[in-house]
Amino acid sequence: MDDDAMRAELEVETAAIETELEKRSFTAMLSGKYDADSAILAIHAGAGGTDSQDWAQMLQRMYLRWAEMRGFETEILDTTEGEEAGIKSATMAINGRYAYGYLRSEKGVHRLVRLSPFDSAHRRHTSFALIEILPQVALDNPEVPIDMADVKIDVYRSSGAGGQNVQKNATAIRLTHLPSGLVVTCQNERSQSQNRESALRVLAARLFEIQQAKQEQEIAVLKGDYTKAEWGSQIRSYVLHPYQMVKDHRTEYEVGNAQSVLDGGLDGLMEAFLRQG
């Protein structure tokens, strides 16, 4: 083999080794206790009326597209529709290895700046939505014991879009965890038993989050650096007018093509966050 051919072959092998090392290095960052688990993702429209509800639905589409590109399975567990457009809230399961590890970068307030399609004067509007990310913990997890005697179960009819979509039978489930006051609803499956199981999964995830937050707060108080987590400032801004840009305010990572991000191209933003962490 001549020198040029050998050099070309070595370059290919070197590139393959570097790619594999990069992949393993990144996977090593997803080494948290629950990083390899599936996730529960919840979206809540903020102040801003119809624009924010439309923004919440845009975010839902973005995460569904991202999950599809990653090969993750998705399951919409509960949705509250907006009055005119969009959604007030949605809860979905994203199932796959490292789903939670990647998605924990998304927790917080997301801000959209654009010319409003709902404003007759077509003025620029700013909308907000809150993203919650929870690990899917097993229902038999000893860290999150659920005594069913503490859970009030209500059954009601799903609110459909009309016509054939309206449920004739009461299949939607509302769980109220009496000790904590947590309320979880699930109405997107056809059977009452499926909705009950899904609602219990979300309840377990929310109880786990409360428990983790309490532990972190206690540690932070002891260290003297506790600050209350609130809606507060956004973690990321998506600007569609007067220019296009997505900027993560924690890492300063920017993407000039906002539409590519809204179409599910989140990996760069997620990886920048995880590398910083």
Domains of the chain, each with CATH number or no CATH: 31-136+235-276 (3.30.70.1660), 148-223 (3.30.160.20)
Euclidean distance between the first and the last CA atom of the chain, given in angstroms as a whole number:
46
CB 238 within 8 A of CB 111: yes
| Pairing between β-strand 108-115 and β-strand 236-239 as defined by DSSP bridges | parallel
Q: How far is CA 229 from CA 54, 111, 226, in A?
A: 25, 17, 9
Residue 172 DSSP SS3: strand
Mean pLDDT score across all residues of the chain: 85
For residue 142, cis peptide bond before it (omega within 30 degrees of 0):
no
Q: Name the more confident of 48 and 82.
A: 82
The string of pLDDT tens digits covering residues 209-255 is 888 888 777 776 666 655 554 556 799 999 998 899 999 999 999 99
What is the pLDDT confidence band of residue 103, given thresholds at 50, 70 and 90? very high
Report the pLDDT value the prediction gives residue 59, as an integer from 0 to 100.
Answer: 98
- Give the predicted TM-score (pTM) of the model: 0.82
Beta bridge partners of 111: 128, 237
Average pLDDT score over residue span 265-274: 93
DSSP per position, 143-161: TS---GGGEEEEEE----S
Report the pLDDT value the prediction gives residue 164, as an integer from 0 to 100.
Answer: 42
The string of pLDDT tens digits covering residues 138-186 is 777 777 888 899 999 999 887 654 434 444 577 899 999 999 999 999 9
What is the pLDDT confidence band of residue 26, given thresholds at 50, 70 and 90? low
Average pLDDT score over residue span 182-193: 85
Report the pLDDT value the prediction gives residue 166, as an integer from 0 to 100.
Answer: 46
Average pLDDT score over residue span 182-195: 85
Report the percentage of the chain scoring pLDDT > 70: 85
**What distance in Å separates the CA atoms of residue 198 and residue 209, rounded to the nearest whole number?**
17
